Amino acid sequence: VAASPYPYPLPVEHTALVMIDFQRDFMEAGGFGETLGNNVALLRTSLEPGARLLAAARQAGMLVVHTLEAHKADLSDLPPAKQLRGNLPPELRIGAEGDMGRILIRGEPGNGIVPEVAPIDGEWQVHKPGKGAFWATGLHEKLQARGITHLLFAGVTTEVCVQTSMREANDRGYECLLVTDATDSYFPKFKEAAIEMIRAQGGIVGWTADTAAVEAALAAA
């Protein structure tokens, strides 16, 4: 892949696409993200590139993983420190009843993936209680069992769940690439900063490239 800071190797049979938290609570009007005062339109610009990336990965026969920030209905996997973070009123905390069901609770309407990038049969769905995709999910063990060594990342938000997941993956030995136009943040400056941090110092966390570069590499594979 034509990437920064230098070309990224793409062994398709050992690569997975990880679609981070493209869920209604974060991306749709009336969801949790908008309730907190965020402009969800800033995230939705990642959907067209994300859908193209997903289609290219499927065409290539690549493993696809979808993650969702989601907690059990009884909140047994929700640390009090996370529930209380942000000094939010009780009606806006995780587990409270929102316009799309209980906030960030597995199986609730708002916790589903938006239709533009929804999973199909055979694609993995990982419900993660934290920001990163690897903590308390068993994802690493499943990827290892499939012989996966390389990960492409897309999703939201760039500086929180996407970057956290990339750093977790980097520490576990994966070669990671962030697809820059298939990720977004409520804060554009945070996205820019996260991209710079990821590819700094010769790719200290990983590589970055846009969707077109990945499509071209997969077409040539």
Q: What is the full per-residue pLDDT of the chain (221 aa) written as tens digits?
A: 999 999 999 999 999 999 999 999 999 999 999 999 999 999 999 999 999 999 999 999 999 999 999 999 999 999 999 999 999 999 999 999 999 999 999 999 999 999 999 999 999 999 999 999 999 999 999 999 999 999 999 999 999 999 999 999 999 999 999 999 999 999 999 999 999 999 999 999 999 999 999 999 999 98
Instruction: Reply yes or no on whether 128 is catalytic.
Output: yes
> pTM here?
0.97
Residue type, 70: A
Based on the number of CB atoms within 10 Å of its own CB, is 65 exposed (0-12), middle (13-18) or buried (19 or more)?
A: buried
- In this prediction, residue 21 carries a pLDDT of 98
Catalytic residue among 25, 128, 181, 210: 128
Question: 104's torsion region: left (phi>0), alpha (psi -120 to 50) or beta?
Answer: left
86 phi, psi to nearest 5 deg = 95, -5
Domain boundaries, given as residue ranges, for the chain:
12-219
Instruction: Reply yes or no on whether 161 is catalytic.
Output: yes
Catalytic residue among 161, 181, 191, 210: 161
Q: Give the alpha-carbon dihedral of 81, 85, 88, 89, to 10 degrees.
A: 0
* CATH architecture of the domain with range 12-219: 3-Layer(aba) Sandwich (3.40)
- In this prediction, residue 56 carries a pLDDT of 98
- In this prediction, residue 102 carries a pLDDT of 97
187 vs 13, 82, 100, 103, 167, CA distance in Å? 35, 21, 23, 22, 20
Q: DSSP letter at 96?
A: S
Q: Which two tokens stand for residue 85?
A: 């973070």
Residue 128 to residue 20: CA distance in whole angstroms: 10
Return the bridge partners of 19, or none: 66, 154
Residue 167 to residue 200: CA distance in whole angstroms: 13
**Helices 211-220/47-60 angle, 10° precision:** 10
- In this prediction, residue 46 carries a pLDDT of 98
